Structure 1
């Protein structure tokens, strides 16, 4: 287990962190990405004390080594991340659990308590080609809800972790309609929400309204913004998410939407402990670009009282 962050950081109800995503990391191994050592060095240098694991295999998967590498940089882990395709029914459970088990074990070993669960894309994440329908049938919605509840129960019972489901562009949990349908169909005791402000805005949602309406479901935050002008072109042209990111749809705050001050204010009104992890999608990006953005973003968030 890693060393705990400073008492001052622990005193905040909202704990700010960052993630490999903000360094252009989408895959366990890719020549377009910075080495993991550089990510750890720079995220600490930028003033963050919390990180996510990112794609399994990007950071060391040996808990002792990862604990040493993070602790000596003053970092601790807030969550691991998994992708699931539970709308495909019970046939995918074994493969899903095999993947989840590896990530959950490392997450627990690092002292974290959350597992971020992202639904599978209906487009290929490298080629952007459609691989299934963007709309779920009623039966698939039932499989998604019951599968996610099972995942929440088994992750809790086996690893002591809480799953937080992350609505995401180019998945079946994306728009306000689909997010609220999913939340209404799942047990609050088993399934919480990871609200990503950028993805929700990308898909037309209002983060503040979602927090005010479903605040009891909020278990985790991802902070990012979208450039409204780029987003308008993305919508007009029907671009997939990957090409949209390469065009710069996710932008540095405070240059985009939603405004993060009202989001953080609404989250504070819940009076619960939350992680708020900065995640600015920038894949691929020049290796020298992330650190200056990360520093400016941390200063901006301090100005928001976070």
Structure 2
């Protein structure tokens, strides 16, 4: 099977590598986002997919404009059965969706129609879902609305965060993508339309989403910590200072404290009172400082929290 692959982040690069390692797959080219100039040192940063494609000695396309005449002419000269898309980051034009001989297929990290859009993994964790999965869809020109080819479910653990859940979902995709492509190639599949009335959408995460307040429940705070573990993290404002929470857990008991103090040190463990329970902050970071433990915070910042 000849495959044109499109993707950008690290999980997509791992999926690409798995396809390259399968002798029945022939990757004829890779589409990814253009390189970006970093703010520091003016260095050029390539996407993870770009680096993986380079290591595999594959043709790489990084179009600024998917509808440019030059890119369109180049792509239409290629001979491929499938266009496989995994978190490329742009909605593809109709002419691209019509270009593969067999089908354009998208790998989406949720059980569609739930969590269409840019942040399905974070949304799953934010909402405290107990299960999630991946969906293979036949792509159309709308956002994650194509007919479903197949779905694969998995349980979400309490200790899953964005990084670990994404890794497990990526492995789930790697385990099943060859079966899906083979079945479609042999016309051994069915399409199931998505229930648009049951659809939900998730937004693009921004830096400002990191802020929490302690009027939130402990589960809301912990789920936000899990969802934003990689970026942007979570932080709170206290005494006009933004402090990042780099490690935490929830005490499994209701908050019975009646005073108005949010923070307390319990044997050098920093605790914070929430709307319902108490959380323990194990590691934190002040602006322009290194990450410290709650013991270090007790020794150096006790008055910041208590007074």
TM-score (ref. length: structure 1): 0.29
Larger Cα-atom Rg: 2
TM-score (ref. length: structure 2): 0.29
Higher strand share: 2
Q: Determine which structure has greater relative contact order: mean sequence separation of CA pairs < 8 Å that are 6+ residues apart, divided by chain length.
A: 1
